Amino acid sequence: MKKLATTGLSFGVLTLCASQLSAQTVTFNPSTYTDLGTYMSWSQSAYTLANYPSDGGSAGGGWSLAALPAVVSGSNLTLSPNVNAYAPGVGYWTNPDGTGANKMDGAVYTETTGVYVNTSLTFTFDVLANTLAAIAPGGGYTADAFIKDFGPGYSYNGEQTVALTPGVQSVTYALTGNNPGEIVQYGFELIGPDANPATVASLGSVVITPTAVPEPATWAWAGSGSLMLLGLLRRRNK
């Protein structure tokens, strides 16, 4: 996956402090951003039912959030099966039986360059719901979170993924090496055939939100409690 439409974006970042730290955590939070990095790749090997001479192979490129589709509403991100590519009667995109002819892989992500070096990076998020149809005409749908590692020029180094299931989740990847041009992407992807707009609602979606962080008052309360406990221990030890 190459960089597409990632200008001015990052997800919320929670770090301890300096870039020299061996472990860092980022948490998904789109609520203060107006754009997300996006990419769509597709292939026909798994879904084409007829032998069209011009079909085959794979391709990819930058698609808009609406085209994936990916919808940001407040602090929530909703991913659902792609309908933008569905074209009845066009054999490259749609099978004769009406199912999608391509395996679509739509990704929404943050990209950084030279930020995470010699770091164990953890990406956290909360999956509110995943109702994607695992079994559907033409093929089922899956969704995952990922951290992908590239060298300069997008030479692929590796990745780590985790399937999106309801609840608070995280994915961790060890970014080794000391390359200032290291490219790191972290985000979400939905994989499955292009879908008929008339029936896409039955195929479900996945909804993701930031991991809950205690309010400042909660932190203050916890801190005061720790101080009280420390005071009691000191008095007992006198």
> Each residue of 178-195: pLDDT tens digit?
677 889 999 999 999 999
Residues 6+ apart with CB under 8 A from 21: 15, 119
Return d(Cα 8, Cα 70) in angstroms, integer: 18
Give the separation between CA 210 and CA 156, rounded to whole angstroms: 28
Give me the pLDDT at residue 52, please: 54
Whether the per-residue pLDDT at 27 is higher than 50: the answer is yes
Structure confidence at residue 33 as a pLDDT band (50, 70, 90): low
Q: For residues 183 and 110, what is the distance between their CA atoms, to the nearest angstrom?
A: 10
Distance CA 142, CA 133 (A): 8
* pLDDT at residue number 49: 75
pTM attached to this predicted model: 0.79
Residue 31: what pLDDT? 64
